[in-house]
Amino acid sequence: MASLDNFVRLPNGVRMPIFGLGTSHGGGYDQESVIFALRECNYRLIDTARRYGCEHLIGKAIKESGVSRESVFIATKMWPTDYGTESAIRAAKSSLTRLDTDYLDLYMMHWPLCPSSVDNVRSTLDNAWRGMERLLDEGTCRSIGVSNFSIQDLIDLMESCSVVPHVNQCEFHPYQNPKELRAFCRENNIEFQGYCPLANGMILKEPPVEKVAQSAGRSPAQVLIRWSIQNGVVTIPKSIKKERIKENSQVFDFELSPEEMAELDTIPMSLRAVDPAELQGKIDDNKPDGYKLPAHLQYVPV
Ligand SMILES: NC(=O)c1ccc[n+]([C@@H]2O[C@H](COP(=O)([O-])OP(=O)(O)OC[C@H]3O[C@@H](n4cnc5c(N)ncnc54)[C@H](OP(=O)(O)O)[C@@H]3O)[C@@H](O)[C@H]2O)c1
């Protein structure tokens, strides 16, 4: 499914860039950097989410960059407090308003979890997916997917869905390589997409990463991004620093050898950048979207 050129083709034929920019609210947000990524570094996939609280800024950044809407692949995500058929549709329309666009390239359910007040989690997830299928049918979304879904979560959803998720976005780096889940996705024609390719910066100093960076004559971050790409996995590193945004994009003019890939695979799978155990609390905590952003960047509904 995934190939080593700059795009992967989703099961419904939609092309998604294999490389893009992450925009989660941890670590801050910088508007100029997003514009720089689009205008100067040829980023053509932006990954965001209602929860990150920056959809309104992404919409403005795309306009200010001068890059046409059609050439940017916008992926965003619904937060579990919006799960349910009609509420999923309303949530997508709110994301469209904030992003100032009339369609999404990819819309995902952010977690296979619901607020604690929900009695029947499984039927609530199924109902939200029904809303996603309607958004696909009416053309609001070009593709629909899920995020952080395990094999069992996918099996449960697939029992009742009409459209199998096009994408499952999950954590992916040498510390966290869920091979069984990736194989399941491959067998069921679901594109496995990776997040946190740099394990949030925690993996950059691992000895095998430094060793391969030295042999390849590239930075640790470039080596890790290349590792994702050569595994055929769409990757979305985040930085708010222009020089790193540029560095992270310069990964299409070299290739890691099989020995270098094997060296990176020796890193023990020992760490997750995102702890799923903390998520239920984050869903129930009622904090506003983008609560980690400074006040002047937060969204004010008009
Ligand atoms: N679906 C989900 O549940 C989910 C969960 C987590 C993340 N995501 C998505 O995946 C994206 C990426 O994940 P992430 O932001 O958590 O982690 P990441 O991309 O693995 O790492 C980002 C961290 O690495 C630093 N960094 C970036 N480029 C660097 C470089 N060249 N050299 C050294 N340090 C560098 C950044 O700092 P500076 O900004 O200071 O450069 C930042 O602290 C997110 O932004 C989000 O869009 C999705």
Residue 167 lies in a domain: yes
Using a 6 Å cutoff on CB, does residue 292 contact ligand 1?
A: no
Indicate if the pLDDT at residue 1 is higher than 80: no
Q: Tell me which of 43, 52, 83, 107 is the catalytic residue.
A: 52
pLDDT for 300: 85
Tell me the average pLDDT across 218-228. 98
pLDDT digits (tens, 9 = 90+) for 53-92: 999 999 999 999 999 999 999 999 999 999 999 999 999 9
The enclosing domain of 149 has a CATH number of 3.20.20.100
Give me 27's structure tokens: 């670590």
Sorting pLDDT into bands at 50, 70 and 90, what band is 3?
Answer: very low
Distance 222 CA to ligand 1 centre (A): 13
Active site residue 299: no
> Residue 94: inside a domain, yes or no?
yes
Task: Please state, in angstroms and as integers, the Cα–Cα distance from residue 157 to each residue in 109, 112, 120, 276, following that order.
Answer: 12, 10, 14, 19
Q: Which domain holds residue 101?
A: 14-203+231-242
Could you tell me the two tokens for 43?
Answer: 């980023």
> Does 215 map to a domain?
no
Helix, strand and coil content of the chain, in percent to the nearest 5, comes to: 45, 15, 40
Domain assignment present for residue 287? The answer is no
Determine whether the annotation assigns residue 110 to a binding site: yes
Q: Which of 239, 243, 280 to mutate to test the pocket of ligand 1 (most atoms within 8 A of CB)?
A: 239
Domain count of the fold of the chain: 1
pLDDT at 4: 44
pLDDT digits (tens, 9 = 90+) for 19-49: 999 999 889 999 999 999 999 999 999 999 9
Amino acid at 169: Q
Ligand 1 within 6 A of 197 CB? yes
Residue 1 belongs to a domain: no
d(CA 207, CA 192): 27
The reported pLDDT for the residue numbered 5 is 56
201 lines ligand 1 (CB under 6 A): yes
Query: Is residue 213 in a domain?
Result: no
Average pLDDT (279-290) is 94
Average confidence score pLDDT of the chain = 96
Residue 146 belongs to a domain: yes
Compute and round to an integer the Cα radius of gyration of the chain.
18
**Least confident segment among 4-13, 93-102, 197-206, 286-295:** 4-13
Residue 284 has pLDDT above 80, yes or no: yes
> How many other CB atoms sit within 10 Å of the CB of residue 56?
20
Q: Is residue 274 part of a domain?
A: no
Q: Is the CB of 176 under 6 A from ligand 1?
A: no
